[in-house]
Structure 1
Amino acid sequence: MRIRIVDAFTDRPFAGNPAGVVLLDAFPSDDWLQQVAAEVNLSETAFAHPLPAGGDADWALRWFTPAAEVNLCGHATLATAHVLSSTGTADDTVRFSTRSGVLTTTARGDGTYTLDFPTAPLTEVTIPAGLPEALGAEPLAAYDTGPQVGDLLVELADEKTVRALTPDLRALVEHSKRGIIATAQAQDPAGGYDFVSRCFFPQVGIDEDPVTGSAHTALAPHWSPRLGRDELTGLQASARSGLVRTALQGDRTLLTGSAVTVIDGELLT
């Protein structure tokens, strides 16, 4: 069977967030899916298979890190939509049945893809004891992002602080179900992005995720009211880096980005 590696939320190879994509006739055992994801050893590998016509969704979709299945993943959904569209396997609009309900992706004429995801509900919480030491910076505020995302979002003083983080990853495990989203407003309004973030997920086997689509379902409702605009662009400032355009639409958040297939090979087992 074919396996592709797709760089998501970027328009050039070797940037953004790489995801494995495997198209199947049906899902085999969970053990097999997890073993393949561990072998690929990227932040997520997506597995999808077509569903019978006439239902609420066109494809079933699941996401696995090297260590666990997750409830929501943006970049691997974008990568899957890119594979389906670029190979002519599906129409430009695809409805995926997932752990987070039906998610729709749309291929645009400019080569980008828009993902329709649920907006994360933000609840301000007390900054947990020990978090500043684990993160290596003092948060201005902290927010629970709800069960689907499962992260703790922390706002930091400025972009420079976010970029300079060198957290104690073992200590961070104690502070969220999935990981930590660290964010700040962009330092330069003319820089092409409105806010910056970094995401750390040691709880699910990912020290730092290069570009996290699902985190932007929390970043969008955090920053849009502060900046007074429903449409924003976020820069995830990892070593690979990537841009995510967000459009806040109440209980839904649209995420738009590009994708590039960098490896197209054969899975032998």
Structure 2
Amino acid sequence: MKLDLYQIDAFADAMFTGNPAAIVPLTEPLGTDLMQNIALENNLSETGFIVASDRPDRWDLRFFTPTTEVPLCGHATFASGVCVLRHLHPELDKVSFNSPSGVLTVERDGNRFIVNLPVSAARDWVPSAELKDVLGVPVVASGGSKFPFIVVENVSFVRGLNIETGVRAAKLTSPGELIIAAPGDGDLDFVVRVFVPGVGIDEDPVTGAAFAQITAYWAKRLGKQNMQAEQASKRSGLVAVELRGDRVLLGGGANDFMRGQIVLP
């Protein structure tokens, strides 16, 4: 059996930027163990498996890191939409995915794409004294649901934070995941880094689900619904963010890196 595979850099404005995801289009579902093994072999932060329905604009979608299945991945949803709208059905302008986190949509916006995700419900969360000591800077705000987040005032600290320190801090949260954010510089409203050792990834390059978590905080703080943000990982990614009720819209570019086939016995 041969399966097509597309590797697409989500939220990428240039080659080797954004967050790469492997997307595997299917006509019938695969077994969970097989999908997990394919994701492990791909060795990317996420592999998305999209299963066709009787309509070209509706698909089922599941997400796998190299070590586990997760309920939501923003950049893999984005890349799945690019796969359908750019390659499989270029006549379409919008596609919907049934996912473990509900219906997710991706639409074309000129040469760019917009993914529509649910806002993650807010909850109170206070970082431990040990976590604050690891970072060594004042924390001015915190919260989160799926992703705990902290906010500091120094964007240079966020940009310059070494991965080892970010991972140590993330491991001190119960899910082993942490967003670290600061007000932006230049034309940026805010800047983030995302560390997720709890799912087998030290630092995620550009994380749609993290923006779904933290956008409401910045919208309230800045008094605006439309914002420009950067995830300041080594690969980096620029994201246009819009808070719309209980949804967050994330826009950006996409780069096709590779197309191939998975050969199974």
- Give your verdict on TM over 0.5: yes
- Whether 1:35 and 2:37 are equivalent positions in the alignment is yes
In structure 2, what is the Cα distance between the partners aligned to 1:45 and 1:176? 24
Deviation of residue 178 (structure 1)?
5.2
Show the 5 A alignment for 1:248-267: 248-267=243-262
The equivalent position to 2:220 in structure 1, one of 199, 207, 225, is 225
Show the 5 A alignment for 1:56-205: 58-89=58-89, 91-108=92-109, 110-144=110-144, 146=145, 150-166=146-162, 167=165, 169-170=167-168, 172-177=170-175, 179-186=177-184, 188=185, 191-205=186-200
Contact 2:113 2:251 in 1 (8 A): yes
* 2:201 equivalent in structure 1: 206
Contact 1:135 1:172 in 2 (8 A): no
In structure 2, what is the Cα distance between the partners aligned to 1:47 and 1:138? 41
- Whether 1:16 and 2:18 are equivalent positions in the alignment is yes
Deviation of residue 50 (structure 1)?
1.0
- Whether 1:2 and 2:4 are equivalent positions in the alignment is yes
Q: Give the number of equivalent residue pairs.
A: 259
- 3-state SS, counterpart of residue 248 of structure 1: strand
In structure 1, what is the Cα distance between the partners aligned to 2:76 and 2:136? 29
Deviation of residue 170 (structure 1)?
4.8
In structure 2, what is the Cα distance between the partners aligned to 1:223 and 1:13? 29
Contact 1:106 1:113 in 2 (8 A): yes
The TM-score, its normalising length taken from structure 2, stands at 0.92
Instruction: Read off the aligned partner of 1:104 and give its amino acid letter.
Output: T
Contact 1:244 1:255 in 2 (8 A): yes
The equivalent position to 2:49 in structure 1, one of 31, 47, 50, is 47
Instruction: Read off the aligned partner of 2:73 and give its amino acid letter.
Output: C
Structure 1: 5+ residue stretches without partners: none
In structure 1, what is the Cα distance between the partners aligned to 2:238 and 2:72? 19
Structure 2: 5+ residue stretches without partners: none
Distance 1:64 1:136, change over 3 A: farther
In structure 2, what is the Cα distance between the partners aligned to 1:201 and 1:194? 23
Question: Matched residues, percent identical?
Answer: 38
Contact 2:81 2:105 in 1 (8 A): no
Greater CA deviation, 93-102 or 158-167? 158-167
RMSD: 1.8
Contact 1:134 1:172 in 2 (8 A): no
Distance 1:161 1:40, change over 3 A: same
- 3-state SS, counterpart of residue 82 of structure 1: helix
Greater CA deviation, 131-140 or 154-163? 131-140
Deviation of residue 181 (structure 1)?
0.4
